[in-house]
Chain A
Amino acid sequence: MSNVTSLHVNGAARACDAEAERSLLSVLRDDLGLTGTKYGCGEGQCGACTVLVDGVPIRSCQTPCGTIGPQKITTIEGLEQNGRPIDKLRAPSGVEGLHRLQQALLEVGAFQCAYCASGMIMSGVALLAKNPNPSDAEIVRFMDGNICRCAGYNRIIAGIKLAASRRPNGGAQ
């Protein structure tokens, strides 16, 4: 299989030269320097490596980079770039460049060590895109693949609900 020479990440094409069977996680972290996405288990069980591919959350540790093709990848770094819009998932301007979910999680003080935060946020952003006003049970079901060992689950749920209450236009998406 030929090497992957380009990935579309956070709104731009990024050059790389990676064996196609290497994990997307390692290419993002080690080749493109996007270390916000974390390794946690290598088997898709903990969610620390979650990124969005065309808006769909995937476990990048389990995804060979050769399977991505021209699809658009969004990482935690792409949610926040000094107020510059990345895609329609971004928050409205005026919240200090943070996505509204990041802002809400900051306000509720959700995290302790925060190593899980990037994956939590990417999963939560995907949830809010799909279900703008999720119930507690829907949040638990959607987020159950993301592990927080400091176990701040209830605060993360509170943060997702706070972000949902602030959705742009007060309506769908």
Chain B
Amino acid sequence: MKPHFHTPTVGRASARLPGSESAKERAEARPTFTRRQFLKTFGGGLAVLWLVNRTDLRAQAESGGRGGRGGRGGNRRPSELAAWLHIAADGTVTVYCGKAEVGQNVRTSVLQAVAEELPAPLSTIKVVLADTSLVPWDAGTFGSQSTPGMFPQIRRVAATAREALIDLAAKQWNTDRASLVAEDGKVRERSGARTIGFGDLTKGEKLALAVSESIALKPATEWKVAGTSVPKLDGRTYLTGQHAYASDIRRPGMLHGRILRPTAFGASLASLDASAAEAMPGVQIVREDDFVGAVAATEYRAAQAVAALRAEWKTTPQISERELFAHLKSTARDAPRKVDGDLPAPSNETRPESASHQLRQTYHVAYIAHAPLEPRAAVAEWQDGRLTVWTGSQRPFGVRSELASAFRLPEEQVRVIVPDTGSGYGGKHTGEAAVEAARLARAVKAPVKLVWTREEEFTWAYARPAGVMEIDASIGPDGRITRWVHHNYNSGNAGLRSVYDVLGKVEQFHSAQSPLRQGSYRGLAATANHFAREVHIDELARMAKLDPVEFRLKNLREPRARAVLEAAAKAFGWAQTTRRDGRGATRGIGIALGFEKGGYLATCAEIDLDRAAGRVRVQRVVQAFECGAVVNPDLLKNQNEGAIVQGLGGALFEALRFENGRILNPRFSQYRVPRFSDAPPAIEIVLLDRKDLTSAGAGEAPLVGIAPAVSNAIFDASGVRLRSLPLVPNGLKV
């Protein structure tokens, strides 16, 4: 289900987050199908079915790449069914999918999709993911697109196969296909006279037809496997240490690498004395321009060798954190247009001077790091000019392109295998470690493993963009918002569009020059934009002397948004919980509403403020979430629970500190992430299952409500309005 995360855009300056993101996501959501020799097979009349006696696709893939599954059809989804699904003679169903498992449990939702539509028992289905020589091309695992994009595609694949299997049985028994039904891995006569297993029908041969685009899929109301809490696939292998992450891959003759890193971003190598390192037994130093690394039999020795390198770096002055927000404003590419000019023709209602209240505030968010517990890692192996790399990535085909480009190879000479990964949260769209490991391996003519250290991961990966948000809004005497102007500088336009009904609205994103390398992150700018908007809304509600829930409902028509707001407030007991309105309480409550990536959410938070210690503790969170028809309730709840606690880090204390091209806190001892003691003891997730609506992804949306809800709760307890993330990196003194 729900892949974590967002656009693959990564860049240092003027990151093109919004435009490229939407284009890519549209491409992902609405695949174009190429139709080749196998045209439409279904849709009335007798189906023609081709079985091709050339079945060993895996052997093809491993022997050469060309002719294998990977990348078939170029960089677009292939239409051939056989690229997606194979049924062996023993009935084992293998499904091939280009998504990467990063903990979001896409492996499980793909399994459910096949089991539902084929249908076949869960235990007979194998899911092959993210191996560019085996799976059909895919843009990547981001933007919460696996559920809205891939889940229906896999269902179409399985449904197409189902109809083909029924055709095969009808032909074999010389009977009317209407008298047959597919269930539980078999085709059965409705009369009950005969059954035949899927494997006995295919005999392991390829189902050579096109995936039907128009085939009817089972409505969610009839789901038996989809929509249920199928446990995480292969869950046991993770709990026994048996699952091999990229950093666990071992190859015969493999050596270990380390990279010499510059002392600052953008530095160039002025001089290098490698003599001491090269004199170390078993050490090989690799230098290609500014790229310098050491390879040895152990990581320890390679690290010692890198430490023995004497390098001088030429650095240039860079923007530091204290100058950050002014820099983002001053380098914004397109200055905000004159606000009034963007609003509808002024009426009595929308004129600021006719408003009961006007509120103009500025909000900030800091850069934060993804800090996946498994840092970037890769094992690279060259054989006869062909390159194979095992690495943790959300974009296996993107990394293949990076490698092909770096080494001037045709893409089919490169195989990228992504073992289920120690997560990414949007932070593993790129293939730095893969390229570095391959460079080392090519130089030393042996397979090389490279695992980034935690310091490297914090320093040389990319960050969630920092940003400045300015909101100017007015409300009328009836508590309706009459005017809403929201500018975002640098962090992005995800979540910028609000769900509230406003007479006049301007919502603009302004790209800027980012001093740090920035890119995708779970939810990306949706957290920043929701934070600014929902804190602003809270402040407006208090100006209007209205309850925050009542104020939101007054300005909200969208029924799905109203539904989550009311569900969260009810489960939380909002109406029964006394609000303090900042009057010296130790306990405060706050609420926030959100809409992102097709999912609606409302988050209620209750915090304790220890005034003496200045400590904010989030005690209780209730989140109502609705993303259409739920594919897997328990995994969706888990995704929500995790997003809330992960989001608490960025809300309360996470920030990358930087000065003149250096990260100042590149360790877990210096960069605080949420721990057991930070997790709210009570987290309740209320899922609204809309079986009448298409399933949307849920890897990102559940993250965006917690920061504004907590900020609003802090105000409720203390009377202090916090408008910058992180809210209380050094505690709160009131």
Contact = CB atoms under 8 A, between A and B. Distances in A.
A26 B303 CA distance: 12
A40 B373 contact: yes
B679 interface: yes
A148 B373 CA distance: 7
A19 B667 contact: no
Interface in A98-116: 98, 102, 105-106, 109, 111-116
B677 interface: yes
Residue with the greatest number of chain B CB neighbours at <10 A, chosen from A38, A112, A157:
A112
8 contacts: A34-B241, A48-B373, A112-B423, A114-B103, A114-B238, A117-B238, A121-B239, A151-B646
B418 to A, nearest CB: 13
Contacts of B635: 109
Contact of A115 (B105, B423, B639, B648): B423
Contacts of A22: 298, 300
A35 interface: yes
Given A40-B373, A41-B668, A154-B683, A147 B641 contact: no
B240 A79 contact: yes
Interface in A18-42: 18-19, 21-23, 26, 29-30, 33-42
A87 interface: no
Interface in B642-674: 642-646, 648, 667-669, 673-674
Nearest to B237: A114
Contacts of B256: 30
A153 B639 CA distance: 12
Interface string A133-173: 00010011101111111111111110000000000000000
Interface string B115-154: 0000000000000000000000000000000000000000
Given A79-B240, A147-B673, A154 B641 contact: yes
B463 to A, nearest CB: 15
Given A22-B298, A76-B241, A151 B454 contact: no
Interface residues of B, number: 58
A148 B423 CA distance: 11
Interface stretch (B91-99, B242-250, B477-485, B595-603): B242-250
Given A39-B247, A76-B241, A98-B239, A149 B667 contact: no
Interface stretch (B13-21, B228-236, B493-501, B542-550): B228-236
A118 interface: yes
A136 B677 CA distance: 10
Nearest to B239: A102
Interface in B412-426: 420-423, 425
Interface of B: 102-105, 231-232, 235-236, 238-245, 247-248, 250, 256, 298-300, 371-375, 420-423, 425, 451, 453-454, 634-635, 638-639, 641-646, 648, 667-669, 673-677, 679, 681, 683
Top 8 closest A-B pairs, CB basis? A36-B241, A113-B103, A115-B422, A112-B103, A151-B645, A114-B238, A76-B241, A113-B423
A43 B669 CA distance: 8
A150 B642 contact: yes
Contacts of B236: 98, 102, 106
A45 interface: yes
Interface residues of A, number: 60
Nearest to A23: B300
B123 to A, nearest CB: 15
A46 interface: yes
Nearest to B243: A114
B239 A19 contact: no
Given A35-B248, A149-B371, A80 B240 contact: yes
Given A19-B300, A37-B241, A151-B645, A115 B374 contact: yes
Contacts of B681: 136, 154
A150 B103 contact: yes
B300 A139 contact: no
Contacts of A26: 298-300
A46 B674 CA distance: 11
Contacts of B425: 149
A75 interface: yes
Given A112-B638, A147-B673, A151-B674, A76 B240 contact: yes
A153 to B, nearest CB: 4
Contacts, number: 169
Residue with the greatest number of chain A CB neighbours at <10 A, chosen from B256, B425, B641:
B641
Contacts of B103: 111-114, 150
Nearest to B425: A149
Nearest to B635: A109
Contacts of B231: 106, 109
Contacts of B300: 19, 21-23, 26
Contacts of A111: 103, 232, 235, 238-239
Contacts of B241: 34-37, 75-77, 118
B299 to A, nearest CB: 6
Residue with the greatest number of chain A CB neighbours at <10 A, chosen from B102, B374, B648:
B374
Contacts of B454: 40-43, 46
Contacts of A149: 371-373, 423, 425, 646, 673
A149 to B, nearest CB: 5
B34 to A, nearest CB: 34
Contact of A30 (B235, B299, B453, B676): B299
Given A45-B667, A121-B239, A152 B641 contact: yes
Given A41-B454, A43-B454, A144 B668 contact: no
A115 B245 contact: yes
Given A38-B422, A75-B241, A147-B373, 5 more contacts: A22-B298, A40-B374, A115-B372, A154-B641, A154-B679
Nearest to B420: A113
A64 to B, nearest CB: 10
Nearest to A18: B298
Contact of B239 (A41, A114, A157): A114
Contacts of A42: 453-454
Contacts of B453: 42
Contacts of A30: 256, 298-299
Nearest to B232: A109
A116 B677 contact: no
Contacts of A77: 240-242
A46 B668 contact: yes
B676 A157 contact: yes
Contacts of B676: 139-140, 143-144, 146, 153, 156-157
A144 B245 CA distance: 24
